[in-house]
Amino acid sequence: MKHFFLVSILWLGLFTANAQELKSPDGHFSMNFSLQIDGTPVYKLIYKDKEVIKTSKLGLELKNDKKSLLNDFKVEDTKTVTVDESWKPVWGEVASIRNHYNELAITLNQNGSERKMIIRFRLFDDGLGFRYEFPQQKNLVYFTIKEERTQFAMTGDHTAYWIPGDYDTQEYNYTTSKLSEIKGLMEKAYETGNVSQTSFSPTGVQTSLMMKSADGLYINLHEAALINYSCMHLNLNDKNFTFESWLTPDSHGDKGKMQAPCKTPWRTIIVSDDARNILASKMTYNLNEPSKIKETSWIKPTKYVGVWWEMISGKSSWSYTDEFPAVQLGVTDFSKARPNGHHGATTTNVKRYIDFAAKNGFDAVLVEGWNTGWEDWFGHAKDYVFDFVTPYPDFDLKGLNEYAHSKGVKLIMHHETSGSIRNYERHMDEAYKLMKQHGYDAVKSGYVGNILPIGETHYSQWTNNHYQYAIEKAADYQIMVNAHEAVRPTGIARTYPNLIGNEAARGTEYQAFGGERNQPNHVTILPFTRLIGGPMDYTPGIFQMDVTNGSHVNATIANQLALYVTMYSPLQMAADFPENYERFADAFQFIKDVAIDWDDSKYLEAEPGQYITVARKAKGTNNWFIGNVTGYQPFTSKISFDFLDTDTQYIATIYSDAKDADYLKNPQAYNIRKVIVTKKSKITQVSVPGGGYAISLIAVKHKSETKGLKTL
């Protein structure tokens, strides 16, 4: 690992004391900072001589304060730093990440109040990050944020890939439109099927926001290192195309309770004239602190199956009995209740999944609905809803763990909170102790429904602090966390790599929700938006598209295979029923073969909403896997294998859409063929709408392996 640091204190270039310029290491970006006549801090961003962000204001409006941190500033000090280092993630898309940036930290002093605020800019070769810092000082100690007033002034009416701003959910289909069209499309975009929703503006959208300018620039707005702060949305002025930060309020309407010394999350702007570079960017991770977990050998990427799709698709239930309209934990005697006959988390059924996992080389089995309380868990603002330790009578907790371990499989714990955060924290230690006692090392947590205490939302500062507390507490017990319905990730997995997955967007479950299913282009947008902050537990691998409850999955089988590569995650589920995989055993082979941890990733083709083609090299091997997904239009993929090792042959197994495949009418039509490829090989492959292809590239060890195969 190499580190190069150059530190200086200076006035930059030919600019005055109130104006500075910062360049990226490669010189393609320049950021200009200045103070306006009234002392308002502003910045602008230029990429390859094209303006990306026009002059935009910076600052924070304070509550019940004589003077906000918006204007009347003077520059007191500037510091510049150059950093060039590399770090190795515990898991990830690449084995090593370069962290290379030029930094400008500007200390501002406010006239009259004598308050100090530092604005720290870091300019990378892929974009800009900046944040506000408040050093310890006597004139600014405790303060409440009324609103952060950070602006992002766009240069035109860009095409945006957006979901409605919402304090409680990110589970929307994406809308593609011009910025000027957002207000007119908001009502349609704001689907009402989510169980907890709180909108705030007809032009409010969520980050990570992906845009494309008319002159071919790809622009992504997000945040990094969201800790002890409220989640940032963006509110658009659709007359001048300026976004302004819009923080999530707490139950009192406040946007942030602060105590100096403190800092905000980073505001991030990733830019390129090549869409593939947006997908490859690691800037969000680089703006987070190094791992606080020193010994990480217990953190392991996981491929799993589970008793989950049964409930989502309507085959089984989470609850044990239909006898009680309501239950009270510790009072209701479940041993005397009549089973409903469709409970999914039974000992017998779970053993079936354990056997399937062991037979097919999966690491773990997720079981939902194992614990008491599911009879009235939702929609009642119930505080003491689960205790996270008491199983139903038909679930043998100890015996199933012993059975799983005897087969080389682990169980994944499920902790649904029903939004009752106080209750979860009340039981967390005992719940984690139980997990360790029985050999669970991973938990899927859930926050379905309105947050308790009443008045809080899913993304307020207080609730975000809970999510962080759960991650850190889990680390104390060496437990990995897969949090669903939590705040969208912002690269925190670098600092706490036991955060092995999040949902925080529409996953596969929405394919079972009838009219509000995921659109066919959904998976061509998510890597440009949701995955900018970290991996998603998307739960792919559905082979039977007509599900039990009558809904239909908008995808082909080849598309579902490709997701294991294009939707990066160290936590990958094969979500369908075992019997459906057994029906299509030849296609299922790819899910068994594909890696979940990588040494390298190559983004071969990409256009948001249309197509993504990714190649990844499996950790510690010479084997590669390729995935392609498409949107509403067919796509002819043309790729070269020039990323492969020289003088090495690979057996390529290609899983592709059949010519007559159709995500609605014929989704199970696919072809499988094997050929030999080398570094000089090229391929042209057609994917149907909502389709794709997947390729495994296994390095040849013996010539006999290639007998009868043609070279591509």
DSSP annotation of 248 reads: P
Nearest of 607, 526, 604 to residue 568 by alpha carbon = 526
Question: What is the rounded CA–CA span in Å between residue 18 and residue 107?
Answer: 11
Quick check: helix, strand or coil at residue 428? helix
* Burial class of residue 62 (count of CB atoms within 10 Å of its CB; 0-12, 13-18, 19+): buried
265 and 130 Cβ atoms separated by less than 8 Å: no
Token duo for residue 649: 């042959």
Any idea how long the chain is? 712
Cα torsion angle, 101, 536, 442, 333, sign? positive
The label of the residue with tokens 């659109």 reads 519
Question: What is the rounded CA–CA span in Å between residue 489 and residue 487?
Answer: 6
DSSP alpha helix (H) spans, 3-96: none
Nearest of 136, 132, 88 to residue 108 by alpha carbon = 132
DSSP alpha helix (H) spans, 325-408: 347-360, 397-406
Candidate list 456, 509, 516, 607, residue with the active-site label: 509
22 and 12 Cβ atoms separated by less than 8 Å: yes
Say which amino acid occupies 215: D
Question: What is the rounded CA–CA span in Å between residue 246 and residue 158?
Answer: 20
Strands 364-367 and 302-307: parallel
DSSP annotation of 495 reads: T
Question: What is the rounded CA–CA span in Å between residue 60 and residue 67?
Answer: 10
Q: Is 509 noted as a catalytic residue in this protein?
A: yes
Nearest of 613, 609, 510 to residue 559 by alpha carbon = 613
Quick check: helix, strand or coil at residue 87? strand
344 and 368 Cβ atoms separated by less than 8 Å: yes
Question: What is the rounded CA–CA span in Å between residue 145 and residue 123?
Answer: 27
Question: What is the rounded CA–CA span in Å between residue 428 and residue 432?
Answer: 6
Separation in Å, CA 196 to CA 301, 448, 485: 31, 8, 10
Q: How far is C-alpha 35 from the chain's CA centre?
A: 36
Question: What is the rounded CA–CA span in Å between residue 712 and residue 674?
Answer: 10
Neighbours of 678 (CB within 10 A): 18
The catalytic residues are 509
